[in-house]
Structure 1
Amino acid sequence: MKNNRYLLLVLLMAVIFFSGCERILDTEGISRITSFPTFQMQGEEIVTVVKGGTFTDPGVTTVEGYPVTSSITGSAYIVPGKTQPTDVVYTSGAVDTNVPGIYIITYSSTNPDGFSGTTTRTVFVLDQQPDPAVDLSGSYASGTSPGATITKVADGVFYSSNAWGGGSTVVIPAYLICTDGVNVNVPQQESTVRIFGHGTVAANGTLNLLMSRPTFGPPPLIDLVKDWVKAN
């Protein structure tokens, strides 16, 4: 009987030992630590260049020293009368300072474990030297649409929390370019959905825009009137 007790004790200890080893194997690798790319941008996130000027990318590095690659997409000013989706396309490859528009530089990095990250810089090539006195900032309304808040981000460049309007409940933010206080251009942008347009600023501050949302349809909606009335 005593020998049986010893045998049972030995078997129980063996079960505990091997069970413990198996748990260690099951958790092997779960507690590994990996560092995602942490970007350090040289220069500003938003840059403006006047047509014909020069742009040199200040670059981006990572804290961890991971290599960084970059790619560029761009969209030129909208030309009145040429706003079919086929006429408004993204270009890629470089910031062309001879073509006014919006250029997005996307910086990417991947760590040795395969985890990647990105950050972006936006370059605006303006049609002319902007008038620093021009300021579209304020609160706007467009029919029954959710209101918009427009903020100045640089001379000649503004960000609208909603550029669609016209009674639609859809909210689509976008950058607006206005260098002279009269003409407004909205190069094609990827925000919630693609959007682009152009228009003018009325004497009372109302934005009279012809906006297009090519992803809405079919058929795509072209040059829809969107009047944004500035609050007094």
Structure 2
Amino acid sequence: MKKLCIALSFLGLAFNIACDGEETNDVSLVTNYATVEIIGNRTTVINVGEPYTDPGATSEIAGTPAEYTTSGTVDTSTPGVYTLTYETINVDGFAASARRVVVVLDTEPSAFDLSGSWARTNGSPATIVKISDREYTHNNAGGVEGENQLMVTFYNVDDDLLYIPYQENASASGISVESLDGVLVDNNNFTWDLNASAFYGTFTRVFERQ
């Protein structure tokens, strides 16, 4: 019967298991994970027709600069929400990535003014304040009152698409939020889905003007 000899390395501590007193050769399985960090802001907001130059990212493996790939494009001639993803894969196939969102706003004057009193269809009240033609604040983006109430800035991208950029600690309890889909139905109705921790789940939030 063949004897199995194993050498394990875990958190810098070596554990050698010998076979019946035989000498063993240590085997160290080590992988150096990559890190990727964007240069500049996580979210960039521009108007249609404005130039956009991607500042890129930095990547390292074991303290040494590493190459990364970029996926995604930005069409500055078309309103929308564009995602750029930067990724590095180490020699063992483990990937690390970071992403940037570029919001391209329509320059046509909006047909809507969303400022005023609103409520989610569950009755939870909200107030929207207009910052500029396509930028607003919303003091209850999840339609839930209390310590988990989300206070956010959002954009009316093109009179159809609404977008909440990623915002840390948007609630008193420390929940971070970003919208997945937002639809402006008309001046009195809109919906969005949120990525805002398990507390909010995947329910579509429906708001109506009061």
Bin for the TM-score computed over the shorter chain: 0.5 to 0.7
Per-residue deviation, 1:70: 1.1
1:192-230 superposed Cα distances (whole Å, 9 cap, x missing partner)? 9963411466xxxxxx334488xxxxxxxxxx963166x
For the 8 Å contact 2:36–2:60, the answer to whether it is kept is yes
The one-letter code sitting in structure 1 at the alignment partner of 2:57 is V
The structure richer in strand per residue is 2
Gaps of 5+ in 1: 1-15, 73-93, 166-173, 202-207, 214-223
Alignment RMSD (CA, Å): 5.0
Aligned to 1:28: 27
Match of 2:97 among 104, 118, 125: 118
- Taking the aligned partners of 2:41 and 2:140, their CA distance within structure 1 comes to 24
Distance in 2, matches of 1:29 and 1:151, equals 59
Sequence identity, in percent? 29
- Say whether the 8 Å CA contact 2:119–2:126 is kept in structure 1: yes
Please report the TM-score for the alignment, with normalisation by the length of structure 1. 0.49
The match for 1:169 is: none
| Length, aligned pairs only | 160
Larger radius of gyration: 1
1:103 CA displacement? 0.3
CA–CA separation in structure 1 for the residues paired with 2:83 and 2:140? 20
Equivalent-residue separation in structure 2 for 1:140 and 1:20 (angstroms)? 76
Q: In the superposition, relative to structure 1, how do residues 66 and 179 fare at CA in structure 2: closer, same or farther (>3 Å)?
A: closer
- Counterpart secondary structure, 1:38: strand
1:108 aligns with 2:87: yes
Q: Which residue of 2 aligns with 1:197?
A: 183
- Structure 1 residues 46 and 195: alpha-carbon distance in aligned structure 2, compared to 1, 3 A threshold: closer
Q: 1:21 to 1:162 in 2, by over 3 A?
A: farther
- Per the normalisation by structure 2, the TM-score is 0.53
1:226 aligns with 2:210: no
The structure, 1 or 2, with the larger RCO (C-alpha pairs under 8 Å, 6+ apart) is 1
Where do residues 198-213 of structure 1 align in structure 2 (5 Å cutoff)? 198-199=184-185, 208-211=188-191
